[in-house]
Structure 1
Amino acid sequence: MTSATSLPSVIAVDVGGTKIEAAVVTAGGAVLAETRIRVTTGAAAAASAEAFADALLTTVRKVREHPLAAGISSIGIGAAGPVNLPEGTISPINLPAVRDFEIVRRVQQATGLDDVRLRLDGTCIALAEFWLGAAAGVQNAIAFVVSTGIGGGIVADGRVIAGASGNAGHLGQLVVDTPVNGDVFGATAEGQASGKYTVEWARAHGWSGTSGEELSAAVRAGDALALEAVARSASALGRGLASVANLLNTELAVMGGGFSYVTDDYPSQVERIAREHSVNAYGRELRVVRAGLGKDAPLVGAAAQVLRADLLSL
């Protein structure tokens, strides 16, 4: 097996529902800050597949043209899903105009590089945390983000798994409640626990704020409704993780994402709920910790498809 230290740097790309980010990542997993480019996709990219393509390819080309990218021959992409790995396409939930977008082929054409690899963004986060972060040395874990949405990746028996089409780890789509009036999404972990939908729930119940940051401030001020909204979020996420722990015998849940910082004790709230809802004793051993790599995890994980392919199940 080729060691990571003998490999060249990689261009890493992270495609989310609201932004595209790219940078050079070294063989040791360091993101080179001077190469980092972040573009907000905005309304145009959300409404048009070609506008999205322009934003994506412009970002990738700019990084490829950086002097520190000289000699790079591989690109790793982590993308919001669903993805289709056999086809090299993406259909991000939060970008309704982007469906079956041939991201691998388009990036190959734009850069002239053949080695372009794709994984779900959650898979990339799990790869990063398993390689260099909070899940290092743990054989069975889930790593995920709580942000506008909720997504993750799964480490099972020492490998990051992909699933049939590459979508293993969609923690946010676990159904954790009874659907009301046919609203299945509203009964999912994401529909109840993500930052976006927690704020929406609070506003629907009379809270006057508009963002996760304002909700966090309201929690610190002791606002009863804000506290209730965050407790509801933690409860939904904890119930989802209880199912993961019991299904996969998961030891560790690694939590990142901006909304996970809505309160200092958010991870411990989630851990408590997960343990309370675990039928089996082994499920009650699940630990919930904060991610070790922070905002670098998506890019480090995208690059790890090339640099640490040995950690992938396929």
Structure 2
Amino acid sequence: MPLTPLFAAVDIGGTKIAGALVDGDGRLRHRLQLPTPATEPGAAVLAVVHKVLDQLAGTPDWSAVTAVGIGSAGPVDLADGTVSPVNIPGWRGFPLVAEVTAHPAVAARYLPVRLAGDGVAMAAAEHWQGAARGADNALCLVVSTGVGAGLVLDGAVRPGPSGNAGHLGHITVDLDGEPCPCGSRGCLEGLASGTAIARRALADGWRPPGEDRTARAVAVAAAGGDPVALASFDRAAQALAAGIAATAALVDLHRVVVGGGVAAAGEVLFAPLARHLDCYAALSYVRGLDVRRAELGTDAGLIGAAALCR
């Protein structure tokens, strides 16, 4: 019996590097995840990517793999096959496609390698198998360690020539805001990412009951009514609403899908987001945006990386 074709998928973020083999229906096999050594030199980060590929290549299903898809924190450069993730300083213009292509298990079978930014990969996943199914025009956001996004326009994911279309995390929403590692200032990511939420809450006097100082802990406190934690999520939701409304006004979209670790906070994030969207999305053609929670959770990056290969 012939093997069912599979795609090898790698999802690279500032916190973790995940891998899996994915079938034609978006189902994952042999999923694994390793921490990203984000503060170490670029070679150390690549070594983790190679370790993920080594483990996937060691499975009995590797012989059915027809392509390798990579979703990476960005920005990316599709023309050169390079990545320069803001939250992985050791990778600047890093030749990720060439390095993965040269991996022994990939090179031995001449597997093609496809690259996209993590937001584009998430959009591809949600449009294929998740909350953006059936939407001709949608914005799909990942709100996690950073903020990424991808656009679905006229029924297809549109990464743009460089692969960074919809890179919402680095649009300016605060004209006099803090400098951003990307080189700009007042970026959405600096206000709405999980890192920013925790940082703002701590700066305003919130203290966790234990040692957990993450956005997850802030969300728990906010759900319990802590006013400082609630204010931190409200500020993040306001920034997100401004960015979403601006994007909707620019490209005339109707559906918004929000995923990532911060979205797991539920109504702590989505209730103020809806309230602020009522303010910012005021034009008739963007009023009443259809905002949905992502359906694919932490697997969206992997499913999206596989979708790149379809």
Distance in structure 2 (CA, Å) of the matches to 1:299 and 1:211: 24
Deviation at 1:271, TM superposition (A): 2.8
Counterpart position of 1:38? 33
Question: 1:162 and 2:155 equivalent?
Answer: no
Question: 1:139 and 2:136 equivalent?
Answer: yes
Over residues 25-65 of structure 1, what are the superposed CA-to-partner deviations in whole Å (9 max), with x where a residue is unaligned?
Answer: 00111111xx11211022xx532111111111111121022
TM-score, with structure 2 as normaliser: 0.91
Counterpart position of 2:246? 243
Distance in structure 1 (CA, Å) of the matches to 2:202 and 2:178: 21
Counterpart position of 1:11? 8
Counterpart position of 2:191? 192
Q: Where in structure 2 are there 5+ consecutive unaligned residues?
A: none
Counterpart position of 1:232? 235
Deviation at 1:275, TM superposition (A): 3.0
Q: What's the Cα RMSD here?
A: 1.7
Equivalences for residues 1-314 of structure 1 within 5 A: 8-32=5-29, 35-42=30-37, 45-110=38-103, 111-112=106-107, 113-180=110-177, 187-209=186-208, 210-307=213-310
Deviation at 1:182, TM superposition (A): 6.0
Query: Which amino acid letter does the alignment assign opposite residue 155 of structure 2?
Result: G
Q: Sort the Cα spacing of 1:70 and 1:182 in 2 relative to 1 into closer, same or farther, 3 A.
A: closer
Query: Which amino acid letter does the alignment assign opposite residue 258 of structure 2?
Result: M
Q: Sort the Cα spacing of 1:137 and 1:263 in 2 relative to 1 into closer, same or farther, 3 A.
A: closer
Contact 2:19-2:53 at 8 Å conserved across structures:
yes
SS in 2 for 1:77: strand
Distance in structure 1 (CA, Å) of the matches to 2:266 and 2:257: 16
Contact 1:13-1:21 at 8 Å conserved across structures:
yes
Deviation at 1:278, TM superposition (A): 2.3
Query: Which amino acid letter does the alignment assign opposite residue 13 of structure 1?
Result: V
Q: Sort the Cα spacing of 1:8 and 1:181 in 2 relative to 1 into closer, same or farther, 3 A.
A: closer
Give the total of aligned pairs.
Answer: 298
Contact 2:179-2:186 at 8 Å conserved across structures:
no
Contact 1:186-1:192 at 8 Å conserved across structures:
no
Q: Where in structure 1 are there 5+ consecutive unaligned residues?
A: 1-5, 308-314
Counterpart position of 1:311? none
Deviation at 1:220, TM superposition (A): 2.0
SS in 2 for 1:175: coil
Deviation at 1:180, TM superposition (A): 4.2
Over residues 65-85 of structure 1, what are the superposed CA-to-partner deviations in whole Å (9 max), with x where a residue is unaligned?
Answer: 211222313101111101000
SS in 2 for 1:237: helix
Identical residues among aligned pairs (%):
38
Contact 1:242-1:275 at 8 Å conserved across structures:
no
Over residues 105-142 of structure 1, what are the superposed CA-to-partner deviations in whole Å (9 max), with x where a residue is unaligned?
Answer: 11111121341111111111101111111110010001
Query: Which amino acid letter does the alignment assign opposite residue 205 of structure 1?
Result: D
SS in 1 for 2:102: helix
Deviation at 1:263, TM superposition (A): 4.0
SS in 1 for 2:243: helix
Deviation at 1:287, TM superposition (A): 1.7
SS in 2 for 1:100: coil
Over residues 283-308 of structure 1, what are the superposed CA-to-partner deviations in whole Å (9 max), with x where a residue is unaligned?
Answer: 1121211001111111111001112x
Q: Sort the Cα spacing of 1:171 and 1:242 in 2 relative to 1 into closer, same or farther, 3 A.
A: same
Q: Sort the Cα spacing of 1:181 and 1:46 in 2 relative to 1 into closer, same or farther, 3 A.
A: closer
Structure with the higher fraction of residues in helix conformation: 1
Distance in structure 2 (CA, Å) of the matches to 1:176 and 1:243: 10
Deviation at 1:265, TM superposition (A): 4.7
